[in-house]
Chains A and B, each alone.
Chain A
Amino acid sequence: MTDAVKSREKPASEPVATDPDAPVNDRDTLMKWLPFISTPILLFILIGGWQFAVSVVGVSEFILPAPLDVWRSLLDLLSGGAVWHDIWITLYEVLVGFAFALVVGTIVGAVLGRVIWLERAVQPALVALQVVPKVAFIPIFVIWFGFGPTSKIIMAGILAFFPIMLNVMLGVRSVDRGHRDVMRGLGASRWQTFKSLELPSTLPYIFAGAEVGIVFAVIGAIVGEYLGGSEGWDTWSSAASTPSTPRNCSRSSCCWPSWARCSTPLSR
């Protein structure tokens, strides 16, 4: 795969080689630029396959609109102006929910990681909460907190909370015993131990949790908008998913499957 990419893209990649003195076979340089070469190729294959399915295999435009049509609809949508407000709302919901999850998840995870008896006491409840499909609570949140952003922020926050909290708990648990001995041997206080030892060694876990958490926050906000929203990016895609015209349908296909719309009347 690597060799194929290299030989095929040689001429195209020449202008990006910023260091003319670098040896031609410099592996590091190649590794650095490889994603920039491979991504366009992968995109090309994907869109090419898509176009192929539409124009050669002859899949109905109702089921799969051509890439160019989708692109045009997207441009139409974005040039409209009104959509930007909703994009901002969704972004706001995601970020606020995620920020809450990050702060609360880190604190709860750190406490549960340290206080073993508390962790044992709440573990069954935690597991129960964790396995419940939290998205199913959205209608309740909408009733409690309204159709505005608050219910989506809460959804985004709850979804992002669990991976962050669990990672931090694991991180606090896996602080090296030898390192702990050093701090205990020095008679360090709890706060000192936290600042100099637990926080730095838990940071990688916090980041790992945050990485999963931000994705979950996006899912929480978007599904929240689907199932009960008056504004936000996804009220557009769910409005567009009403199969009135093929054009409208193509608009939704770049965002979200239209079946999600079906659950709205049910859940309300």
Chain B
Amino acid sequence: MDKTYQARRGAVHALSNVNLSIGRGEFISLVGRSGCGKTTLLRILAGLLPPTSGTVTADGQSIWRGGKRNDEAFENFGLVFQDANLFPWYTVADNVSLPLKLRGMGRRARRARATELCELVGLPGFENAYPRELSGGMRQRAAIARALSYDPTILLMDEPFGALDALTRDKMNLELQSIHAQAGATVVFVTHSISEAVFLADRVVLLTPRPGRIRSITPVQLARPRSLETETSAEFQEIVRELRHELDEE
């Protein structure tokens, strides 16, 4: 898979000359200060915003076709947002299997898949609960389950754990790592936490603001699977220190 972006947006120069190719199965973290265009970049990748100029291609297909989102190219995209964005009128199972419903899967098959997914993200037995009955972390897991329901090969995540406390976050990161390993999906993960980015990623993309552009791309060659001990290793600390240094230089 190959992707190229060259985006330039309006008077507010949100992104300038962003050029990035992401390999299949790769885990990419986008890091930067707030307002550096991380979310804009991800929304362009997700086809929620059109780039002002330049192209985005997924598997050789342009994701915009004639001014319209090319939904075909997004068949295998899964999105997770900052907020869980679960529909309050659906149960967890219905929320998780919503993409399958849109694809015309039968009720029984959907139900079975929802049970499976709840198991996968650590929400067994909550199929019939409503979103308001869940904690923030549990809702975010349900949102991840929803994004995984149709086995996407590309996952775009916009600070999915931003609203969670540190302990839950560590746990979710470990789970995300194992989901990535199991599913073999390509992940683009937006975060403002350097250590989170380094912990998860194969490559860390550092963005700088005004206009948003790629400052550096740092490969992370720590062995997988990574555990919480990895974070204490000298190698990990070194990469984090370098990135922080770069961020402070701006």
B71 touches A200 (CB 8 A): no
A-chain residues with CB within 8 Å of residue B102 when the two chains form the complex: 186-188, 192, 196
Q: Is A114 positioned at the interface, with any CB of B under 8 Å from its CB? A: no
Size class of the contact patch on chain B: 10 to 19
> Smallest CB–CB gap between B108 and chain A, Å?
19
* Interface members, chain B 124-157 (any A CB < 8 Å): 146
**Interface: A182 (CB within 8 A):** yes
A196 partner residues in chain B, CB cutoff 8 A: 87, 98, 101-102
User: What is the CB-to-nearest-CB distance from A225 to chain B, in angstroms, rounded to a whole number?
Assistant: 40
Query: A184: CB under 8 A from chain B?
Result: yes
Is B194 in the interface zone, CB < 8 Å from A? no
List chain B residues, Cβ under 8 A from A200. Answer: 87, 89
The yes or no answer to B79 lying at the interface (CB within 8 A) is yes
* 0 or 1 for each of A93-128: is its CB under 8 Å from B? (1 = yes): 000000000000000000000000000000000000
Closest B residue to A178 by CB, please name it: B85
Q: Within the assembled complex, what's the spacing in Å between the Cα atoms of A201 and B86?
A: 12
Residues in B whose Cβ lies below 8 Å from that of A268? none
Question: Does B98 lie within 8 Å of A181, measured CB to CB?
Answer: no
Query: Nearest Cβ in chain B — how far from A158, in angstroms?
Result: 32
Q: Does B77 contact A (CB under 8 A)?
A: yes
CB distance from A110 to the nearest CB of B (A): 17
- Cβ contacts B43-73/A at 8 Å (1 or 0 each): 0001110000000000000000000010100
- Contact B87 A185, beta carbon cutoff 8 Å: no
A59 interface contact, C-beta 8 A: no
Contact A181 to B89, CB < 8 A, known contacts A188-B102, A192-B102, A196-B98: no
| A176 within 8 Å of B (CB atoms) | yes
CB A59 to nearest CB in B, in angstroms, measures 54
Whether the Cβ atoms of B87 and A181 lie closer than 8 Å is no
Pair B85/A187 contact, Cβ less than 8 Å: no
**Interface range on chain A (Cβ under 8 Å from partner):** 10 to 19
Interface contact A185-B79, CB-CB below 8 Å: yes
Contacts of A184 in B (CB 8 A): 47-48, 69
Task: Mark contacts of B76-110 with chain A using CB atoms, 8 A cut-off: 1 yes-contact digit, 0 otherwise.
Answer: 01010101010101000000001101100000000
Quick one: given A187-B74, A196-B101, are A179 and B87 in contact (CB under 8 Å)?
Answer: yes
What are 28 inter-chain pairs, A to B, with CB distance below 8 A? A176-B85, A178-B81, A178-B83, A178-B85, A179-B85, A181-B48, A181-B79, A181-B85, A182-B79, A182-B81, A182-B85, A184-B47, A185-B46, A185-B47, A185-B74, A185-B77, A186-B79, A186-B98, A187-B69, A187-B71, A187-B74, A187-B102, A192-B102, A196-B87, A196-B98, A196-B101, A197-B87, A200-B87
Contact with B along A69-82 (1 / 0, CB 8 A): 00000000000000
Q: How long is the Cα–Cα vector from A181 to B48 in the complex, in angstroms?
A: 7
CB-CB nearest in chain B for A181: B48
For residue B70, which residue of chain A has the nearest CB?
Answer: A187
Shortest CB distance B106–A (Å): 16
Q: Which 9 A-B pairs have the closest CB atoms?
A: A187-B71, A178-B85, A185-B79, A200-B89, A182-B85, A186-B99, A178-B83, A188-B102, A192-B102
A192, B69: Cα distance in complex, Å: 16
Contacts of B69 in A (CB 8 A): 184, 187
Report A165-203 residues with CB < 8 Å from chain B CB. Answer: 176, 178-179, 181-182, 184-188, 192, 196-197, 200-201
B71 cross-chain contacts in A, Cβ below 8 A: 187
Contact B101 A181 (CB under 8 A): no
